[in-house]
Structure 1
């Protein structure tokens, strides 16, 4: 790719970002609503995590630190050990609950932001009160697609771990080991940005079409031809932006007051969430561009019936 071609791709990426930004201006009420409500839920989960989980971790560490100082043959040792097990079970239970709630929120967030972006992009008429039911109709398809994406992602990073252990085994110098590990991580992260082109686009397809799972991934790989350089740059842009926000955590003085660290963490979590949501908006815009390049008619979303239907009918859209 020569310099002028690269500049053209950059300009087209900027065009996608600008078009995505305009969706929030085009339909302020809908777009900011579907962004604000999941954001609020994520903030509540973060606050619960910070307020409820931290004492559990503190108790677990405190009880564990008392074990080496206690005679194993005394009843006190058994009592401390039982409290450690109890604290650990409580911590794991709370962690499972938070992960489950976060997963549900992320699933619903993806549904509403993609659906709202598509509606706004195509100027489809609908009533706000019908939007939740129309959107939730497609949660099963997105869930199946996310399951396959998670499997592919786990397999991909498992390969990273295998290669990393191989490097650990054959390396003798610590400096060389650290450099190789960082280089390997960067290589895998960049290539994941390339793989995520199909993954992200398949999520949009799962919501806007009657296609999900492996079929959605296959269709995404098919229609994305001609758009990969743009979407790859988009993924790199959002990835670097999120990475930069996360790195701010390293600059936080965690020894300062709890309220300061809580507020700072809340701002960062919210920022990363907003970045991810805006990325989904750009992929919705990119979806219509991909379909346009394929010569398909996308003037109406065939799988979304913007009529007043009963909730029973709408929720039965997928098996």
Structure 2
């Protein structure tokens, strides 16, 4: 990271993207190793989940269709009913396994990338072995933060559902309901984007500072002020890109009826694009952290941060005190 910390506050939408891409290409060897070790299985799990879910849903749909045309209480009906129940259980068990694996590799990938960029920022030598040895020491802190973030999203969705439900129940006018529905829908997605940005930045804070969980989320909320619009615009590129890749994968692979060559080519293309998108997302959220710190004139002591990173390698994790990460506020 060639820029001085004071200069990073001036990075906008394209500046942050350019800086993130520059970091990836400058340190492409270590990022390639992290990608092969952690992001590759993460991408494979994501795409495999789409394909297998499609097969399981197809199986359930077929058995339910046969069940509708079978005579009630007949041996065939009972057998098909058991098949449908088994299919649904298989689907839910698969989803649980998918969620656990995806969650674990997401935490590991985030830990590895954030640590690597912190080493880049402090000009600390980076080796793949040292990065992988650090990951197990920070992923638990990151897990707690992600669980709090998940709880926040869950609560947000529950409240939103209740608001929409009361809207339909209490208002008789269909025109007013539809108008309010679209207004609330816009507000809902705006709030969800805001929570998503806080979620991503809180993950970086959990690795680099002495707080995690709900405290990291509150710290993220304060840190993002002033750079909220730019951060949301950049972070939204990730789900949009993911949605595009998933759509292409569904059309040409999961639901594809073309030749095997076309399906294979589309699957490989989606896989490679997803690899790059996940890596870019992890790098850009860390760059946003340093940009926000710079914007609030919170100088990060590179020497203290380097010592903090060294502790990961030499001993049990000892959190870096927050005052080491913001020793002074620079007056501009």
Which TM-score band applies after superposition, normalised by the shorter structure?
0.7 to 0.9
2:159 aligned residue: 159
CA distance in 2, matches of 1:221, 1:287: 12
Does the CA contact (< 8 Å) of 2:223 and 2:293 recur in 1?
Answer: yes
Does the CA contact (< 8 Å) of 2:112 and 2:134 recur in 1?
Answer: no
CA distance in 2, matches of 1:58, 1:230: 41
2:309 aligned residue: 304
Query: Residue 16 of structure 1: CA displacement?
Result: 1.6
Does the alignment pair 1:286 with 2:288? Answer: yes
State the TM-score, normalized to the length of structure 1. Answer: 0.79
Does the alignment pair 1:187 with 2:192? Answer: no
Query: Residue 76 of structure 1: CA displacement?
Result: 2.3
Any idea what the Cα deviations from partners look like across 1:66-109, whole Å, max 9, x if unmatched? 22222223222222222222222222212211121111111112
Any idea what the Cα deviations from partners look like across 1:136-178, whole Å, max 9, x if unmatched? 210011000001111111111222222333444446659974x
State the TM-score, normalized to the length of structure 2. Answer: 0.77
Query: Residue 232 of structure 1: CA displacement?
Result: 3.3
Any idea what the Cα deviations from partners look like across 1:275-296, whole Å, max 9, x if unmatched? 3432331221222233333333
Structure 1: tracts of 5 or more residues without a match: 1-8
Alignment of 1:258-269 (within 5 A): 259=260, 260=262, 264=266, 267-268=269-270
CA distance in 1, matches of 2:116, 2:282: 11
Pair 70,10 (structure 1): closer, same or farther in 2 beyond 3 Å: farther
Q: Partner of 1:67: helix, strand, or coil?
A: helix
Does the alignment pair 1:122 with 2:125? Answer: no
1:65 aligned residue: 65
1:15 aligned residue: 15
CA distance in 2, matches of 1:113, 1:127: 12
1:108 aligned residue: 108
2:330 aligned residue: none
Q: Partner of 1:109: helix, strand, or coil?
A: helix
Q: Partner of 1:212: helix, strand, or coil?
A: coil
Number of aligned residue pairs = 305
Pair 131,264 (structure 1): closer, same or farther in 2 beyond 3 Å: same
CA distance in 1, matches of 2:200, 2:20: 15
CA distance in 1, matches of 2:237, 2:26: 24
CA distance in 2, matches of 1:154, 1:52: 26
Structure 2: tracts of 5 or more residues without a match: 1-8, 320-332
CA distance in 2, matches of 1:20, 1:234: 11
CA distance in 1, matches of 2:258, 2:132: 40
Pair 55,188 (structure 1): closer, same or farther in 2 beyond 3 Å: closer
1:256 aligned residue: 257
Q: Partner of 2:69: helix, strand, or coil?
A: coil
CA distance in 2, matches of 1:230, 1:120: 23
Does the CA contact (< 8 Å) of 1:70 and 1:77 recur in 2?
Answer: yes
Pair 116,56 (structure 1): closer, same or farther in 2 beyond 3 Å: same
